[in-house]
Amino acid sequence: MSTSFSARTIPTPMMIGLTLAFTGVLLGFLLGGAFGLLEPAILAHLKASGEAVLATTYGGDVTKLDAVVDKSWTYMLRAHMHGGAIGSAALGAIGILLVTTGRGGIAQLSALAIGGGALIYPTFWLVTALAAPGLGGTGAAKDAYEWIAVPGAGLAILGMIGCLIALWTDRRTA
C-alpha cells in the first residue's frame, strides 16, 4: 500500500532520526573544537582522575596510568570521529529514504534507529574515555559502559539494514 506525501511532509520518526543524527554530527564537531581549544586541560583532567586512584588501582605505577591516559585520549578521538562519520552517514541514509521511498513503517523505523545509533555510539566512546583513568583501564571502562555501546552500535547497524530493505520494498510511486 503506497502512501502519498507532499514534498514538505516528513513523518515524525524520520524527523526524530534526522535530529538525532544532526546531534551526533554536532557532538563530533564540538569535541573537535574542544580538542583544539582545551587539549591540555582535557589531558590534565584524565590524568587527575587516574591520579586520584593511583595508589589503589594502579599500585603506584605511573607508567600504567600514563598508558591508560593515552588510550583514553584515543577513545576521545574515536568519539569525535564516530559522531561525525555515523552522523553524516545517517543523515545521508535518511535523506535518501525521504527522496526514494514512500516513507512507510520500515523507512521510519530505520531512520529512527540509525539516528539514535549516530548519537548513542559516539557517546559510549566519550563516556568510556572519561571514566577509564578512574577505573584503572579502558577495558574496565568498556565493560562498565557496554550497555551504551551495544544498543548504539546495534541501532546504527539495524537502521542501515532497514534502509536497504526500505529502498527495495517501499519505493516511492509519485
Count of the separate structural domains present in the chain: 1
- Per-residue pLDDT of 45-101, as tens digits, reads 999 999 999 999 999 999 999 999 999 999 999 999 999 999 999 999 999 999 999
Per-residue pLDDT at 173: 76
Q: What is the rounded average pLDDT of the residues 113-131? A: 99
- Residue 2 resides in a domain: no
Residue in the structure block whose three cell numbers are 593515552 = 70
- Residue 7 resides in a domain: no
Phi, psi of 126 (to 5 degrees): -65, -50
Contact call for residues 112 and 78 (beta carbons, < 8 A): no
- Residue 19 resides in a domain: no
Q: What percent of the chain has pLDDT over 90?
A: 93
Sequential DSSP letters for 113-160: HHHHHHHHHHHHHHHHHHHHHHHTSHHHHHHHTHHHHHHHHHHHHHHH
Residue 159 is part of which domain span?
Answer: 29-169
- Residue 65 resides in a domain: yes
pLDDT of 7 higher than 90? no
- Residue 109 resides in a domain: yes
Give which of 36, 28, 33, 42 is closest to 86, Cα–Cα: 28
- Residue 5 resides in a domain: no
- Residue 10 resides in a domain: no
- Residue 21 resides in a domain: no
